[in-house]
Amino acid sequence: MASQPPFTRVQVKVDIVHGVEVADPYRWLEETRAPEVSEWVAEQRRHARAVLDGYPGRAALESRLEAVLGGGMLGPSVPRGSRRFFARRDAGKDQAALHVAEAGGERILLDPAALTGDSTGALDWFYPSSDGELVAAGISTGGEERSVLHLLRTADGGLLADRIEDCPWGQVEFEPGGTGFLYTVFPKGAFYGQHVRRHRIGRPVAEDPVVFRPADPTESPEPAAGGPGGRWVAINVNRGWGESSLWLAESGGDFAEVFRGEGESLRAWFSGERLLALTNAGAPNWRLVEIDPEQPGRESWRDLVAETEHVLLEVEASSDRLLVHHLVDACSWVSVHNLRGEFEGIVDLPPLATVTGLGAHPSATEVFLTVETFTRPAFVLGVDPATGRFTPLGGLEPPAGFEVAAHPVRQLRFSSADGTPSLLFLVGRAEGDGPTLLTGYGGFNVSRTPIWTPAAVPFLEAGGLLAVAVLRGGGEYGERWHRAGMLESKQNVFDDFAAAAQALIAGGFCTPSTLGMLGRSNGGLLVGAALTQRPELFGAAVCQVPLLDMVRYERFRIAELWNREYGSAADPDAFGWLHAYSPYHHVRAGTRYPPLLLLTGEDDARVDPSHAFKFAALMQAANPGGLTLLRVAERAGHGQGKPVSQLVPEEADIWAFLLEHLR
């Protein structure tokens, strides 16, 4: 069997960009629906299946993954009054459903697969009204995330006639009184131009007026309503992941911009009659402030929870307490404060854990924390805010046969090339070298913290070691940390990742031949950069739904939204740093690259599959004696809402590939 598929047509294409010659020999693969590209994809699929199905351990891995991934999932709790709403996928089910827990017990409120008659039907998001009597939920199919807003009654689960299309990544804010709500929506068929409309329940959607439309179609608005008598409407407007504005209006009045961050962010919401906000304005590690809508200027803000040395992630208010969630070395730390912000105590959490959901609301006295660790799936704690003590309320259990004690979790410190300190989480094998997988993200202010990763269970049980790197560009250490890994500083992220790999090798955990790497989306860009910059450090690479052509990335799908994180190639300076690390432009013929598995979805709404197509073709041509596989999932997108029946074979391919090559 040939290690690479048959020859792929090369298109002689060279652009001159800001005076620089930029070769693009596989641009024809950008036409992902063209007949010749479909034929090429079909050949790639046949080749990948021939190789992956030949791995001797794959069948056993798939069987184990079916048991592990079929064990269910549990999302954060969202309390309203005496009810608690959450997403849960029960054992044996393909998709998560919306559940409600109340005095009479727990029941399914909305099953998206049953509603759509499609196994890919997914619950993208949900928002209960303040009294918990109604819920707005976003449902999509095929992984395309183009949510349709459905409205349902909590009492009986009945769907109302109100149905609104084009609400991907929706934000919904029920107005006081419960007769209507504000919601975000896109122009039909578009992924730019998100704006806010008001819907009156029972009225035709065509009558919904536009409440707020950002001047820039790449900006993202988030509505909030409240104050005395529901008098005020607030709109948070996000410009990328590091800057935002706040607009305020009295109900029915004109909006005024009362805060505009220049390299700063603020997220405001109404908690009862109070307007609270998390902000990094003057506080890179964030603080909680109270804003008087009558005097909203920053000089009048009142600190409730001041900035500390640790990054403040989120705050939720119950009827009588504030729950405050910090990260300490990328692990959750939750404190209890009174409504004036005065510290009262600490919630006793497990070590090296992540609070994935901080559940509190002014309508409810009960508070709920959803918690995960690397070796335990999500479970719920009911917290007594007066004492900080908690009561376990159930959750998921580790899969049968998984011995938690056999897979210790610890942290390893390391320093990057420029001396910047960071850390790795290590999960699994207590001693000796062997198969090791390094993963990371490093971007968009996203924090990598301890979470349950069920797909890694067979790898851990095979003696593998999972290493999760904390990289600049994330949110683990505040806004300075984020900005140190974006725009012109993006190379820092790749240097951090290489330093983490070197720390694992130097520590005796692995050798380059037994060290693999895995990343998805922005993490796929990370893997692509590490592969082209430091191929000698790795024995195998898995690159999922990746960005790889950073010269043309913004031309596809929603990628123009990411200009503020990466920069635009239309700008000469930004082109300089994008081209300098763009993986597609740094594949070199004759270089020994480790075996590579690329994965994408044909309906990815976020990252165009042509990134993976072009990179696969180029790697196969440049490295004919090596191995590059391309796996293209049908009726699948970026990964959100993927049913278990699709996840199991995909994960079996990933882990079989890694265990085969990390020797």
DSSP secondary structure string for all residues of 347-410:
--PPSS-EEEEEE--TT-S-EEEEEEETTEEEEEEEE-TTT--EEEEEE--PPTT--GGGS-EE
Q: Residues 609-636: what's their mean pLDDT?
A: 95
Taking each helix axis as running N to C, give the angle between helix 572-581 and helix 491-506, from 0 to 180 degrees, rounded to the nearest 10: 20
Convert the pLDDT of each residue in 640-650 to its tens digit: 888 999 999 99
Q: Residues 296-322: what's their mean pLDDT?
A: 96
Query: Residue 430, exposed/middle/buried by CB under 10 A (0-12, 13-18, 19+)?
Result: exposed
Buried b (16+ CB within 10 A) or exposed e, 262-294: eebbbbbbbbbebbbbbbbbebbbbbbbbbebe
Q: Is the pLDDT of residue 5 over 80?
A: no
Calculate what percentage of the chain has a pLDDT beyond 70. 99
Instruction: Tell me what pLDDT residue 388 has.
Output: 67
Convert the pLDDT of each residue in 173-194 to its tens digit: 999 888 999 999 999 988 899 9
Calculate what percentage of the chain has a pLDDT beyond 90. 89
Convert the pLDDT of each residue in 61-77 to its tens digit: 999 999 999 999 999 99
Separate counts of helices (H) and strands (E) for the chain: 11, 39
DSSP secondary structure, 463-493, as one string: T-EEEEE--TTSSTT-HHHHHTTSGGGTHHH
Compute the distance between CA of residue 622 and CA of residue 638 in angstroms, rounded to an integer. 27
**Residue 164 in contact with residue 185, Cβ under 8 Å?**
yes
Count Cβ atoms below 10 Å from residue 400 Cβ, excluding itself.
8
Buried b (16+ CB within 10 A) or exposed e, 101-119: beeeeeeebbbbbebbebb
Instruction: Tell me what pLDDT residue 2 has.
Output: 46
Cβ neighbours for 112, distance < 8 A, ≥ 6 positions apart: 95, 96, 97, 98, 121, 122, 123, 139
Convert the pLDDT of each residue in 74-125 to its tens digit: 999 999 999 999 999 999 899 999 999 998 899 999 999 999 999 999 999 9
Compute the distance between CA of residue 343 and CA of residue 347 in angstroms, rounded to an integer. 12
Instruction: Tell me what pLDDT residue 6 has.
Output: 63
**Residue 481 in contact with residue 489, Cβ under 8 Å?**
no
Give the CA angle between residues 160, 161, 167 to the nearest 5°: 95
Residue 638 catalytic?
yes
Instruction: Tell me what pLDDT residue 177 has.
Output: 83
Query: Which two tokens mark 112?
Result: 């998206």
Compute the distance between CA of residue 380 and CA of residue 390 in angstroms, rounded to an integer. 10
Q: Residues 1-14: what's their mean pLDDT?
A: 70
Instruction: Tell me what pLDDT residue 580 has.
Output: 98
DSSP secondary structure, 538-569, as one string: -SEEEEES----TTTGGGSTTGGGGHHHH--T
Q: Which residue has the tokens 């529901």?
A: 230
Question: How far are the Cα atoms of 76, 191, 527 from residue 244, in angstroms, in the given order?
Answer: 26, 19, 30
Q: Residues 546-566: what's their mean pLDDT?
A: 96
Instruction: Tell me what pLDDT residue 496 has.
Output: 98
Q: Is the pLDDT of residue 569 over 60?
A: yes
Compute the distance between CA of residue 316 and CA of residue 311 in angstroms, rounded to an integer. 16
**Residue 276 in contact with residue 301, Cβ under 8 Å?**
no
Lowest-pLDDT range of 148-157, 237-246, 380-389, 613-622: 380-389
DSSP secondary structure letter of residue 228: G
Q: Is the pLDDT of residue 1 over 60?
A: no
Instruction: Tell me what pLDDT residue 639 has.
Output: 82
Compute the distance between CA of residue 311 and CA of residue 280 in angstroms, rounded to an integer. 10
Compute the distance between CA of residue 366 and CA of residue 577 in angstroms, rounded to an integer. 50
Convert the pLDDT of each residue in 130-152 to its tens digit: 999 999 999 999 988 999 999 99
* Residues in the chain, overall count: 663
Instruction: Tell me what pLDDT residue 7 has.
Output: 63
Lowest-pLDDT range of 2-11, 324-333, 459-468: 2-11
Instruction: Tell me what pLDDT residue 594 has.
Output: 98
Convert the pLDDT of each residue in 496-549 to its tens digit: 999 999 999 999 999 999 999 999 999 999 999 999 999 999 999 999 999 999
Residue 586 catalytic?
no
Q: Which of 77, 271, 332, 521 is catalytic?
A: 521
Compute the distance between CA of residue 77 and CA of residue 368 in angstroms, rounded to an integer. 6
Q: Considering the chain, what is the average pLDDT of its residues? A: 95
Q: Which of 99, 150, 638, 661 is catalytic?
A: 638
